[in-house]
With several copies, the nearest count.
Chain A
Amino acid sequence: MTQTASAEPKKGSALKRSRGGAAGDKVFSNTALAAGVIILLVLAFVAIFLVTESLPALWPQVFSNQDSIASADTFGQYVLPLMGGTVLASIIALILATPVAVGIALYISHYAPRKIATPVGYVIDLLAAIPSVVYGAWGMTFLAASMVPIYGWLHNNLGFIPFFAGDPSTTGRTLLTSGVVLAVMILPIITSLCREIFIQTPKLHEEAALALGATRWEMIRMTVFPFARAGIISSVMLGLGRALGETMAVTLVLSPGVFSLSLITSGRNATIPSEIALNFPEAFGMRQSELIAAGLMLFIITLVVNMIARWIVSRHKEFSGAN
């Protein structure tokens, strides 16, 4: 069957002659790689920065010749309540925002009449455009006050649940209010990513479901959600990142205090970012290390949460769309 001699390309073979733009490929892929490297470097620097700055608080005996840190006996005592508060606030925000955000995304992609969908999408994006200071100011002046009667009601009727135990706040400056503000802030983030992904669901698959006699909701469950699974989780994580790291809004809305499960009492709970923002200006020496170490802990929370999310996504990799 074989009669052609050479198996190697001849000299000057058209195959090896570079067709315009071969260099472009190299440059482009290397640029892409470089971008990845830069991100890792920046992150490495952030991590190094955080760790070196927080060492005195993490091991006071070794790194600062002190027996204990400034605001508590041990660092754990100081930071664990803060971590609790941060996680609590973020969970409230996620629980409130995720269903609503996914709902709106669906509304835009599959429910709303076309004429309404576009402006609604735009208007939701607007929410993302509002600076967190403004959310903070809004939460402080408007939302907190209007939550007061709700807290009273929750306490009277659901007071047996630890979350609603304790004296209801008279000003509304509580963790629950902060959670609501955070929810409003992360809503557009989750919505707009989900919306983009929902829209990408292949029409072929949607039609396949409809043709089987699926109702709209069933079609969404059969095709849109599985297709968008990874994307939804991603966007929720992005929202969570924002909620965990949000500084100004919480700072303006919450009356901080010690950790407590009660969400409706003032002067309870605090979040790490607002703790940093509130105290950093006056912090000095050990106190400053403590605050940065608290930032490091937040970093670690994010790390763990994202590990879990990635794990969930990767479990179903082979059944995901695009191919």
Chain B
Amino acid sequence: MSKRIDARNLNVYYSKFLAVEDVNINIEPRSVTAFIGPSGCGKTTFLRTINRMHEVIPGAYAEGELLLDGDNIYAPGVDPVNVRAMVGMVFQRPNPFPTMSIRDNILAGHRLNGARMSRSEADDIVERSLRGSNLWNEVKDRLDRPGSGLSGGQQQRLCIARTIAVSPDVILMDEPCSALDPISTLAIEDLINDLKEEYTVVIVTHNMQQAARVADKTAFFNIAGTGKPGKLIEYDDTSTIFSNPANEETQNYISGRFG
């Protein structure tokens, strides 16, 4: 399954601070969309409104509409838990559960919700997810060791595996590769390519080459200055954004030397 995402006049706040202003964007199902932009422009903030993780921060809230296949996830009565089950998320910093083994980390999405499953089903999910995130070979012999004993990169891949294990409709990734080496990055990028066959993928990245490689569409956010809200400046096909952006700000950002 896969879902379309439409944001309409979305304003995102931290208490009184307007962090992201008036975002309107349509994200197609079965596509990869990349968010790029300078640090602090609100990419993470906006990404977190897509699965209502934003409101977990005390005082934070969003105004406007965010439609998931036409259903406003900010409509009254919507259960954020349902939204989050449909919209998975990988964070900027790897955050495996320290009390759980690698195996249990992967199964967390199922187990924590009280799902019962046979040993072999569980093994299946674990292996599939770990292979998907290119971690299987490294950890297959220590599935029962704690997840926090892994290197930074390994931990991040574990978190990706944990997210895809619950097969959401949309997968949000906040700089998933910033802690990864090229080999794993490559694997994740391949994985993202595979995922878009079935899922809607949104990825925040600082690496414009990565955006160019994996994204169908790219959204450029910018910020006018500190204390000002971030804005969606331009949203278009990736090739257009990188070769022929309509907006001067985008042009400037893209043409800077970058890594």
Contacts and interface: CB of A to CB of B under 8 A. Distances in A.
Interface of A: 1-10, 13-22, 25, 114, 202, 204-215, 218, 222-223, 226-227, 229, 316, 318-323
B53 A205 contact: no
Given A213-B85, A318-B146, A320-B98, A7 B91 contact: no
Contact of A19 (B75, B85, B99): B85
Given A114-B58, A211-B91, A212-B108, A205 B166 contact: no
Interface string B1-13: 0001010100000
Contacts of A210: 53, 56, 80, 84
Interface residues of B, number: 51
B100 A319 contact: yes
A160 B49 CA distance: 57
A207 B95 contact: yes
Given A213-B84, A323-B148, A19 B70 contact: no
A17 B113 CA distance: 16
Contact of B83 (A15, A207, A226, A321): A15
A10 B86 contact: no
Given A15-B83, A209-B97, 19 more contacts: A9-B77, A14-B86, A15-B68, A15-B73, A16-B78, A16-B79, A17-B82, A19-B79, A114-B58, A204-B91, A205-B95, A207-B53, A211-B84, A211-B91, A211-B163, A218-B112, A222-B100, A223-B99, A320-B99
A208 B79 contact: no
Name the prevailing secondary structure of the A interface residues.
loop
A7 B88 contact: no
A321 B112 CA distance: 21
B81 interface: yes
16 contacts: A1-B26, A9-B71, A10-B70, A14-B71, A15-B79, A16-B79, A18-B79, A18-B82, A204-B95, A206-B56, A209-B97, A212-B108, A213-B85, A222-B112, A226-B98, A323-B148
B72 to A, nearest CB: 5
Contacts of B58: 114
Nearest to A13: B71
Contacts of A214: 81, 84, 112
Given A208-B91, A210-B53, A226 B97 contact: yes
A213 B77 contact: no
Most A Cβ at <10 Å: residue of B81, B84, B97:
B81
Contacts of B184: none
A237 B14 CA distance: 34
Nearest to A316: B99
Interface string B115-144: 000000000000000000000000000000
Most buried by A among B58, B71, B72, B163: B71
B129 to A, nearest CB: 13
Nearest to A215: B81
A118 B206 CA distance: 40
A18 B80 CA distance: 11
Contacts of B93: 204
Contacts of A205: 95, 97-98
Contact of B98 (A14, A21, A209, A321): A321
